[in-house]
Amino acid sequence: MKKSEINFKIELDQNNIPEKILWDATDKPEVGFSESKAISLSLWDHQQKNTLRIDLWTKEMPVNEMKRFYIDCLGGLAQSVLTSTGDEKMSNEINSLCERLAMDVQKTQ
């Protein structure tokens, strides 16, 4: 059985605000840690039937990029819903929301 590992290193300031987010994965093409400005991690707790979330971003993450990041996350969820459940209606609804949000973000730039 193949095993894969994903690791995160978060450097915090004195107020526990992320200054740097680093990540690495065994299946990543580049060797070593790479830097990111934000991370959104969701885990399904099947016993409690709820989602555990970790959302972190660095102080330097611009607001417009943060909005685009979350729109991209939603778009990825739309594809995941389609792949995992075959529910085209739900996937299309999420994609429609992403399109509306993307237009709103473009208007404010």
Token pair 């993450």 is found at: 61
Q: How far apart are CA 86 and CA 88, in angstroms?
A: 6
Bridge partner residues of 38 (DSSP):
57
pLDDT of 109 higher than 80: no
- Domain spans, the chain: 1-60, 62-109
Closest CA to 61 of 35, 94, 89, 34: 35
Torsions phi, psi for 32 (to 5 deg) = 95, 175
pTM across the whole model: 0.84
Q: Cβ contacts of residue 49 below 8 Å, gap of 6+?
A: none
Q: Is the Cβ–Cβ distance between 34 and 20 less than 8 Å?
A: no
pLDDT in tens, 18-32: 999 999 999 999 999
Share of the chain above pLDDT 70, in %: 100
